[in-house]
Structure 1
Amino acid sequence: MNQTILHSTVFFTAYGPPGPLNYAAFFLTFLLFFITIFSNISLMLVIYLESRLHKPMYIFLFNLAVNGLIGCLSVCPKIMDNLVNDIKNISHKGCLLQVFFSSVYVLCAYVILAVMAYDRFVSICKPLQYHSIMTPSKVKMLLALVYLFPITMLAFQMFITSRLPVCSYNINKLFCDNLAVVKLSCVESALSNLYGICVIASLVVLPFVLVVLSYIKILLVCLKVSKESRKKALNTCAPHLITFINFSTAILFSVIYNRHSTVTKEVNVLISVQFILFPPLVHPIIYGIRTKEIRTCITKIIRTRIFRNSLDFPNLKSELKLVPIMTLDGTAAGQGLPVCIPGLTRTYDRM
């Protein structure tokens, strides 16, 4: 039984024993993890609560925030647990699940960014046809493409990887990725390698090319319009472009990290954390700072929903004062009914 348990467990060798460095890394990871969760949920709530943000661009941004949560939740809790525990391990099935959800995070993010680039292309290059092209049914179809296509392809890839015989149980990384799990196998799998190339080509390279082509077309259109229109178009595209560059940079570092895993423990921690935390942490901040409409909605929500009750001063509430109706000679009319006027002391004459 112990042999079975041992063979179903994968051990991480990149952490080192618990100590000051691990605790510092735990604190930094927890802080970034908390800020990431808070910023993405806040962005989602702003988009959900404000009806003026129920547009294709912000619907796709909402899903980008959801995808960021999937990424950090799939890896960071286990990283923080291993940083402070003596035994750094995970079950083989848990390792495969970690690979699946972290891969969903990467691939879905690229597809979402490609869909957002298409939305910006239609908005700038075909403004008069925007509403006829980006219909609610078209948006739903694109969102279905964002999730169903990557998840289906990754599920089949995980099936192939899970069928490989396992001969090694040590991974010199902070979390599981598909390449590391494949390397645990006793044999070379041509099918796994070929299918992995197809997945990367269709869900990383193709979306990357589509985003680049979209921005080339946008740039060509901007060169033909007035300076004011060009500035407005570029300001509209800036958050998405910055997000795309940021995410692509993180992916590039991750690829280099996967191909050259013989690095120091400190570099291991830094690259692992930046790959999972930095893109979903930076994305809502970029859109919150660069997008005027989101900034306006955040200010409105803070003013009307959070501080609304705190601005009501209970001690200054008006009281009902009973003021008798006065006759022309200045004496109170006993038979008259008192007038109840909140917070006022004016006297009305009965004609």
Structure 2
Amino acid sequence: MENKSFGFSSELTLDTFVIPPGGKYPIFFLGITIYLFGIFCNLTLLILIILKKNLHKPMYFILFSLPLNDLIGITAMLPKVLSDIVTETNKVYYPLCVLQAFLLHMYGGGLLFILAAMAYDRYTAICMPLRYSSIMTPRVIICIISLVWGFDFALIVLLFSLQTRLPRCKSLIMNVFCDNPSLLKLTCGNTAVNNIIGLFNTAVFQAVSVSIQAFSYVKILITCVVSGRSEAKAKAVNTCVAQMVILIIFEIVGTFTILSHRFTNVSPDLQKIMGMLIFLVPPLLNPLVYGLYTREIRNTLLGVLKNSVGA
């Protein structure tokens, strides 16, 4: 049995992709391009919301959490994977592996809660426009953001506190990055409680996020249809479709990844690729969907670009 110590002498080996000869550097540069593009888009959105006073509104204060969460997800996963492709070491110390897994799970849960908070904000703005300012006060916004991050953090801490208490008897992570299911497969103790808590966390994240979003968007559609105004209907479609696209993509990839760990006949490479998409697709799409697709952010960005060119 291996030492359970968190010391840096505890080294794990990550599984690898089968890369054809001469393919690692093209894959590395493609990955770096994707990473830098994701970082640039999300940082641009963050900076715009911070610096531009016309974006200092409840909707954008909540939206601020989205690119921040995306930066956590893509940074926790992709640089390590790309480094392993080039160096071909595929080694990671156990504490760093736990940290990576913790951040990746924080990202996944955070995305679901943030989407729910954004849906509620749009529901309030469209269905109760006259009361919006009195409902979405600065205090309420702070409470919503605190609940999003605090609840996410508490659930993930609970999950990993149970995982790290178990002794380890294996050292090969059957994935290209660290996550809780892969870490759990290294243990040789009774994992029944861990599996129950893992399923409980998944159920809580899904139930809270999906129920709030479903309620919000159904109410938005009903309100806009009843109003009979084409402008209101277009606003509802723009609000709903953008967020639902991200949610559906995340749900499909996330559900497959979770279920794939519970079936032995799923291709390991397919499992790895689908797992990576969770941390790549939303961080790349979210700034475009919620940034450029939102008229006020789009106009603000265009104004900044015009001023920069004209300077």
Question: TM above 0.5, one fold?
Answer: yes
Residue equivalent to 2:134: 132
Q: Which has the higher helix share?
A: 2
The DSSP-based 3-state class of the residue aligned with 2:12 is: strand
> Which of the residues 156, 159, 169 maps onto 1:167?
169
The DSSP-based 3-state class of the residue aligned with 2:261 is: helix
Indicate the larger mover: 293-302 or 10-19.
10-19
Residue equivalent to 1:49: 51
Shift of 1:6: 9.8
Residue equivalent to 2:236: 233
Residue equivalent to 1:151: 153
Q: Is 2:256 the partner of 1:250?
A: no
- Say whether the 8 Å CA contact 1:253–1:275 is kept in structure 2: no
> Which of the residues 281, 287, 290 maps onto 2:290?
287
Say if 1:232 and 1:18 are closer, same or farther in 2 by CA, change over 3 A.
closer
Amino acid paired to 1:301: V
Q: Which has the higher relative contact order, 1 or 2, with Cα contacts under 8 A spaced 6 or more apart?
A: 2
Shift of 1:63: 0.8
Shift of 1:18: 8.0
Residue equivalent to 1:302: 305
Shift of 1:237: 3.4
Say if 1:17 and 1:227 are closer, same or farther in 2 by CA, change over 3 A.
closer
> Which of the residues 61, 64, 69 maps onto 1:62?
64
Largest Rg, 1 or 2 = 1
Residue equivalent to 1:270: 273
- Say whether the 8 Å CA contact 2:10–2:93 is kept in structure 1: yes
Distance 2:273 2:188 in 1: 30
Shift of 1:7: 7.2
- Say whether the 8 Å CA contact 2:15–2:90 is kept in structure 1: yes
Amino acid paired to 1:77: P
Shift of 1:298: 0.4
Per the normalisation by structure 1, the TM-score is 0.81
Moved over 6 A (4+): 2-7
Per the normalisation by structure 2, the TM-score is 0.91
> Which of the residues 76, 79, 82 maps onto 1:77?
79
Distance 2:170 2:245 in 1: 41
Amino acid paired to 1:242: V
* Residue segments in structure 2 that go unaligned for 5+ positions in a row: none
Say if 1:230 and 1:296 are closer, same or farther in 2 by CA, change over 3 A.
same
- Say whether the 8 Å CA contact 1:104–1:150 is kept in structure 2: yes
Distance 1:113 1:190 in 2: 31
Shift of 1:119: 0.6
Shift of 1:260: 4.8
Say if 1:86 and 1:240 are closer, same or farther in 2 by CA, change over 3 A.
closer
What is the identity percentage for the equivalent residue pairs of Structure 1 and Structure 2?
Answer: 31
Q: CA RMSD in A?
A: 2.3
Distance 2:114 2:84 in 1: 31
Q: Deviations over 1:253-299 (max 9, x none)?
A: 4324434575254x355324322111111010112332111111001
Amino acid paired to 2:121: D
Distance 2:158 2:222 in 1: 40
The DSSP-based 3-state class of the residue aligned with 2:169 is: coil
Residue equivalent to 2:96: 94
